[in-house]
């Protein structure tokens, strides 16, 4: 962004606004401060009986790798709505959200992942537009070497740990914590 989206004409300059302590993009014309903040990625691990649903990505980054359905939250949408929408877009499936399992920070690229565990309604799913295929996996069948993102590895590992201990625990971490 080079020009101000507020007044449409002002050039943006980097400066520290009064009362602030960080460099911001400030419009030289109307004075509006254009804050830049991290993005929220909402997702859900759909569960059916003793299996979890993963989607193989048809888009970059991570083309061809398996992932927990997730994507950027849209304006005007709650995190829960975003998580359900992503499951629909990637797996053509509906879920009932059960609990929030992970809050995963990737400070380096300014992203915060919030992922739920949800029950697949009637065990039904298809293949969404952003996926090459979708499939159910038991814990032993998870293709650990072909998982797209560390956030997904984190959520999967914590899900199976939660299930073993009979808990619905929320887990917090920062990249790359995938143990």
* Residues that bind Zn ion in the complex, under the rule CB under 5 A: 4, 6-7, 10, 27, 29-30, 32
Minimum CB separation of residue 9 from Zn ion in Å reads: 7
* Nearer of residues 5 and 174 to Zn ion, judged by Cβ: 5
What is the sign, positive or negative, of the torsion defined by CA atoms of 92, 131, 87, 99? positive
Q: With contact defined as beta carbons under 8 Å apart, do 71 and 139 qualify?
A: no
Q: Give the Cα separation of 178 and 169 in Å (integer).
A: 17
2 vs 164, which CB is nearer to Zn ion?
A: 2
Q: How far is the CB of 23 from Zn ion (least distance, A)?
A: 17
Cβ 37 to Zn ion shortest distance, Å: 19
Beta bridge partners of 113: 41, 104
Kindly tell me which of 4 and 100 has the beta carbon lying closer to Zn ion: 4
Give me the residue label for tokens 């992942």.
113
Q: How far is the CB of 160 from Zn ion (least distance, A)?
A: 51
Asked if 80 and 116 count as a contact pair (C-beta separation under 8 A), the reply is yes
Smaller CB separation from Zn ion, 8 or 64: 8
Q: Where are the alpha helices (DSSP H) in 7-149?
A: 79-91
């Amino acid at each position: 962004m080079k020009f101000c989206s507020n007044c449409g004409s002002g050039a943006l300059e980097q400066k520290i606004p009064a009362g602030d302590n960080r460099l911001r993009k400030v419009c030289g014309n109307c004075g509006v401060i254009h804050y830049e903040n991290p993005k929220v990625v909402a997702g859900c691990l759909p569960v059916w009986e003793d299996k979890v649903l993963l989607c193989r990505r048809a888009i970059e980054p991570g083309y061809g790798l398996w992932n927990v359905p997730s994507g950027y939250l849209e304006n005007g949408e709650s995190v829960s709505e975003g998580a359900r929408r992503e499951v629909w877009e990637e797996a053509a499936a509906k879920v009932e959200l059960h609990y929030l399992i992970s809050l995963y920070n990737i400070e380096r690229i300014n992203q915060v992942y919030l992922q739920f565990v949800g029950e697949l309604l009637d065990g039904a799913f298809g293949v969404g537009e952003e996926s090459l295929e979708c499939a159910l996996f038991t814990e032993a069948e998870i293709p650990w070497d072909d998982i797209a993102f560390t956030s997904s590895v984190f959520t999967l590992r914590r899900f199976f740990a939660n299930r073993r201990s009979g808990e619905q625990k929320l887990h917090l971490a920062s990249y790359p914590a995938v143990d």
